[in-house]
């Protein structure tokens, strides 16, 4: 269990420190993400809510996402406008392990997420947690469609994401079946996949501790999906986005993807500066 917990922390840090602008720009060349209603790795349509969850998380991260049986006119005429999603399922009897893969119209793999893992015994809950962890790779990409030169004459207006065609019977509770067509976390079937707080407080990192960004106290104020850190001015210094792990937050520092985590009772900001890992101590009061 300790190894698994450490592995999840490593995935978060590797993403935050190593996400390349080149990959982000590459995904920006595609207008749509296509989600199958049945993945090859599973026996039935939307098994374990896989299709609904994948579509939801892509939409949450700003992608134009559609099901494979409801393609827009321009995508139906040119499949190279979109990337097809696949799930690589390397689960064992004890651990659910999935990766999210994006494949272009020439069947070339363009992007593969980190491997999301879960040890929950219930398959529905286990795949939810594993898919959520895999989507850490897409968090903070700030996707924005940029047409290729050969597509500049095509219609490139943003597509409104609709969940009206979401696969039915994706949750056990009848109350949530009635409103599963609404595209909000609270009103859809995703309450169970909201980030869950755990007891993880240890983070992995070998960066040298640098001077703090401020010597004063930063006060954590709750906001949607996390906290904002305010100094005594008051001025917002950082905004922290919650992850599925307790005491580990995603943030943006001086234009860099970064993480804030608790280590040895202290709060640490860690980011990459010209390829070097930098750590700064924060004095945070929650």
DSSP states along 19-42:
--HHHHHHHHT-SEEEE-SS-TTS
d(CA 264, CA 13): 17
Mean model confidence pLDDT for the chain: 76
Q: What is the pLDDT of residue 243?
A: 84
pLDDT of residue 66: 95
Residue 127 has pLDDT above 90, yes or no: yes
pLDDT higher than 90, residue 48: yes
Mean of the pLDDT values across residues 176-184?
39
Per-residue CA distances from 208 to 10, 211, 270, 278, 281 (Å): 17, 10, 10, 6, 11
Asked if residue 241 has pLDDT above 80, the reply is yes
pLDDT tens digits for 243-257?
A: 878 888 888 887 778
33 DSSP β-pair partners:
65, 83
pTM passes above 0.75: no
Range name among 76-85, 99-108, 227-236 with the lowest pLDDT average: 227-236
Nearest in space to 161 (alpha carbons), one of 26, 56, 45, 27: 56
**First-to-last C-alpha distance (Å) of the chain:** 28
**Residues written for the chain:** 286
Return the pLDDT at 149: 67
Cβ atoms of residues 67 and 35 within 8 Å: yes
pLDDT at 156: 46
Looking at 77-86, 93-102, 174-183, which range is the least confident one? 174-183
Tell me the C-alpha to C-alpha distance, in Å, between residue 9 and each of 35, 46, 160, 170, 189.
Answer: 28, 29, 34, 29, 27
* Residue 158 reports pLDDT greater than 90: no
Of 27-36, 162-171, 224-233, which range is least confident?
Answer: 162-171
């Amino acid at each position: 269990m300790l190894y698994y917990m450490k592995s999840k922390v490593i995935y978060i840090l590797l993403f935050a420190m190593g996400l390349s602008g080149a990959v982000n720009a590459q995904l920006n060349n595609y207008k749509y993400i296509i989600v199958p209603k049945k993945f090859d790795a599973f026996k039935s349509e939307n098994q374990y809510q896989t299709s609904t969850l994948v579509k939801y998380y892509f939409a949450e991260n700003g992608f134009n996402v559609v099901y494979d049986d409801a393609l827009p006119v321009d995508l139906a005429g040119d499949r190279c406008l979109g990337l097809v999603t696949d799930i690589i399922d390397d689960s064992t009897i004890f651990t659910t392990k999935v990766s999210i893969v994006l494949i272009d119209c020439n069947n070339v793999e363009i992007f593969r997420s980190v491997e999301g893992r879960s040890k929950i015994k219930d398959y529905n809950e286990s795949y939810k947690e594993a898919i959520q962890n895999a989507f850490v790779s897409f968090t903070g990409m700030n996707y924005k469609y940029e047409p290729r030169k050969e597509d500049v004459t095509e219609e490139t207006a943003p597509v409104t994401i609709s969940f009206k065609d979401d696969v039915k019977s994706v949750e056990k509770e009848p109350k949530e079946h009635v409103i599963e067509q609404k595209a909000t976390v609270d009103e859809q079937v995703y309450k169970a996949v909201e980030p869950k707080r755990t007891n993880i407080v240890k983070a992995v990192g070998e960066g040298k501790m640098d001077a703090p960004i401020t010597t004063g106290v930063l006060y954590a104020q709750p906001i949607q999906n996390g906290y904002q850190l305010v100094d005594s001015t008051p001025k917002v210094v950082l905004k922290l986005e919650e992850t599925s792990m307790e005491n580990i937050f995603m943030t943006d520092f001086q234009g860099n993807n970064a993480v804030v985590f608790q280590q040895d009772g202290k709060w640490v900001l860690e980011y990459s500066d010209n390829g070097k890992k930098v750590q700064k101590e924060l004095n945070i009061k929650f």
